[in-house]
Structure 1
Amino acid sequence: MSRISVRGFAVASATAVTTVGAVVGVASGSTQQGTAEAAEPAAADATLLADISAGNQTQAQTASLTQQADAQSTAADAAAKKAAEEAARKQAAEDAAAKKLAAEKKAAAEKLAKEREAELKAARSEARSDAGDFAQQASYTIAEVQGIARQMVPAGEFQCFSNIVDHESSWNYQASNPSSGAYGLVQALPGSKMASAGEDWKTNPATQIKWGLNYMNDRYGGPCGAWEFWQANNWY
C-alpha cells in the first residue's frame, strides 16, 4: 500500500465518522472533538506504514547495489588473474625462445671452430715443413727467406707468422740478441733449442722456420694464436 493511498484511506474514514455524528444529532462540540481525536491516530498509523514501506525499498536497493559491487569485484579479479596467467605464459615462451637461440648460436660457433681446426690441420699437412726439402745455400736474402716461409707455413697463417718475424728479427736469420741469447728468425731462447729441428739451425732459415712453426703450433695452436699473444704481451 502506498503512502498516498494510506493517507486517503485515513482521511476518508475521518470524514465518514464526522458525517455520521452530524446526522444522529450528537452534540457539536463533543462530536467534533471525538472525531478529531480518532482521526489523529489513524493518520499517524498511515504515516508509519508509509515510512516502513520506504525503508524496505531502501534496504532492497542497498542490497542490489552490494550484489552489483560484489559481481564487479569478482569479474575484475578474474580478469586480473587471466592477464597475469597470459603474461606468465608469454614470458615463458620468450625465455624458451631465447634459450633455444643461444643453444643454436653455441652449436654453430662450435661447428665453425671444428671446421676451422680441420682446415688448419689440412693446411699444415700440405705445407712443406721439412727443411731438407730446400737446398742449403751459403747465404740468403730476405726475399729468399720469405719465399721459403711461404712454402712451409699454411697460407691462412702466413701473415701472422710474418708479423712475429717482422718484430723479432726483421727476417734476418742470423739476428742475435747478445743480452738474452735469443737467435734467428723467431728469436729462439736460447738459440740452441732449434737444434731439435736440425743441426744447421744457425745457418739454415728453413730449419729455423720449421722449429718456429712447430713451437707456435704446440704452444698457441698456430702462428695466429702466437701473434694474438704477442700483441698482448710483446713476446710469445
Structure 2
Amino acid sequence: MSEGNRVTGISVRGFAVASATAVTSVGAAVGVASGDEQVRSTEPVEVVAADATLLAEIPAGANAQLHTASLTQQAESQSSAAEAEARRAAQEAARLQAAEDAHDRRAAEEEAERAAAEAAAAEEAEREELRVAAAAESAASAPVQSSYSVAEVQALARQLVPADQFQCFSNIVDHESGWNHTATNPSSGAYGLMQALPGSKMSSAGADWQTNPATQIRWGLDYMDSRYGSPCGAWDFWTVNNWY
C-alpha cells in the first residue's frame, strides 16, 4: 500500500481478531491505489467484523460444554443417590425379613415347647389314672377282713390317694376317726374313717361301705375332690373351721 493511502484511524467494533479476512475487509473499506492515482482518506474508517455473530458464539460454545458437564455430573450424582437408596431399601427389607423369620422361629419353638409340655402332662395324668385304677382294683380284690389295723388301712389309703395329697388326707382321717373304719359318733351318727353323715351316703362308692375301709377311702377322696378340689383343699378348710 502506498504512503498516500495510509489509514489514519480504524475502529473495529466487536472482537478484535487479527485475521486475513479482517485485513482484507479494512483494505476494501479504504480503497486501493490504481495506477498513479492516490486516494487519501481523511475520515476514520469503522470496520464491523464480517461475522460478529459467529465470533460471539465462541464463548457460548464453551458455556455449552460447561453446562453439559454440569448436567452429566448431576446425572451421575442422581444415579449414585438412587443406587444408595436402593441399597438402603434392600438392607431394610432384609432386616425386616430376618426379624420376621426370627419371630416365626421363636413362635414355632414356643408352640413345640407348649405341645411337649401338654403331652407330658397328659402322659402323667394317664399314668396317675392307671395307678389309681390299679390301686382301686387291688383294694377291691383284697379279701374282706373282720378287722383292720391302722397300718393296714393306711396302706390301702396310700394305694388310692395321690402321693402329693396323702398327708392332707391323713391329717383329716387322724382328726375324724383315728383311722378306725367303724368309728361311730354317738351324738350325730357320723360313721367311718371320714365320719360321713349320714354314713349311708358312702353307699355310692360300694355296698360294703360299713365293713370295707377301701370303699370308705374311695368315697372320701371323691368327696374332697368334688367339694374342695383336693384333699389338701379340704384340709385347708378344716384347719380354719374344724370340720369339712
Q: TM-score, normalized by length of structure 2?
A: 0.63
Deviation at 1:163, TM superposition (A): 1.8
Residue 125 of structure 1 corresponds to which residue in structure 2?
A: 137
Distance in 1, Cα, partners of 2:72 & 2:199? 108
Residue 30 of structure 1 corresponds to which residue in structure 2?
A: 44
Distance in 1, Cα, partners of 2:42 & 2:55? 22
Q: Provide closer, same or farther for how the CA distance between residues 211 and 155 of structure 1 changes in structure 2, counting only shifts above 3 A.
A: closer
Residue 151 of structure 2 corresponds to which residue in structure 1?
A: 147
> What CA deviation, in whole Å up to 9, does each residue of 1:145-193 have, x standing for no partner?
x223124323573534312212434556545284x65344311011344
Q: What secondary structure, in the 3-state scheme, does the structure 2 residue paired with 1:63 have? A: helix
Residue 141 of structure 1 corresponds to which residue in structure 2?
A: none
Residue 17 of structure 2 corresponds to which residue in structure 1?
A: 14
In structure 1, runs of 5+ residues without a counterpart are 1-9, 137-143, 202-206
Matched, 1:93 2:82: no
Q: Provide closer, same or farther for how the CA distance between residues 60 and 30 of structure 1 changes in structure 2, counting only shifts above 3 A.
A: farther
Residue 185 of structure 2 corresponds to which residue in structure 1?
A: 176
Deviation at 1:108, TM superposition (A): 1.4
Whether the 8 Å contact between 2:136 and 2:160 is mirrored in structure 1 is no
Distance in 1, Cα, partners of 2:85 & 2:57? 42
Deviation at 1:128, TM superposition (A): 7.0
Whether the 8 Å contact between 1:124 and 1:154 is mirrored in structure 2 is no
Q: What secondary structure, in the 3-state scheme, does the structure 1 residue paired with 2:109 have? A: helix
Residue 3 of structure 1 corresponds to which residue in structure 2?
A: none
Pairs within 5 Å for 1:210-225: 210-219=214-223
Distance in 1, Cα, partners of 2:222 & 2:94? 61
Residue 47 of structure 1 corresponds to which residue in structure 2?
A: 59
In structure 2, runs of 5+ residues without a counterpart are 1-13, 31-40
Distance in 2, Cα, partners of 1:67 & 1:177? 104
Deviation at 1:62, TM superposition (A): 1.4
Among 187, 195, 203, the residue aligned to 2:195: 187
Q: Provide closer, same or farther for how the CA distance between residues 129 and 166 of structure 1 changes in structure 2, counting only shifts above 3 A.
A: farther
Residue 197 of structure 1 corresponds to which residue in structure 2?
A: 208
Residue 75 of structure 2 corresponds to which residue in structure 1?
A: 63
- Aligned residue pairs total 207
Deviation at 1:227, TM superposition (A): 0.8
Among 157, 169, 180, the residue aligned to 1:161: 169
Deviates more, 1:186-195 or 1:125-134: 125-134
Percent sequence identity is 26
Whether the 8 Å contact between 1:216 and 1:226 is mirrored in structure 2 is no
Whether the 8 Å contact between 1:183 and 1:189 is mirrored in structure 2 is yes
Distance in 2, Cα, partners of 1:45 & 1:232? 109
Amino acid at match of 1:197: D
Q: TM-score, normalized by length of structure 1?
A: 0.65
Distance in 2, Cα, partners of 1:216 & 1:28? 150
Whether the 8 Å contact between 1:129 and 1:210 is mirrored in structure 2 is no
Kindly report the root-mean-square deviation, in angstroms, between the aligned alpha carbons of the 2 structures.
4.0
Distance in 2, Cα, partners of 1:187 & 1:194? 10
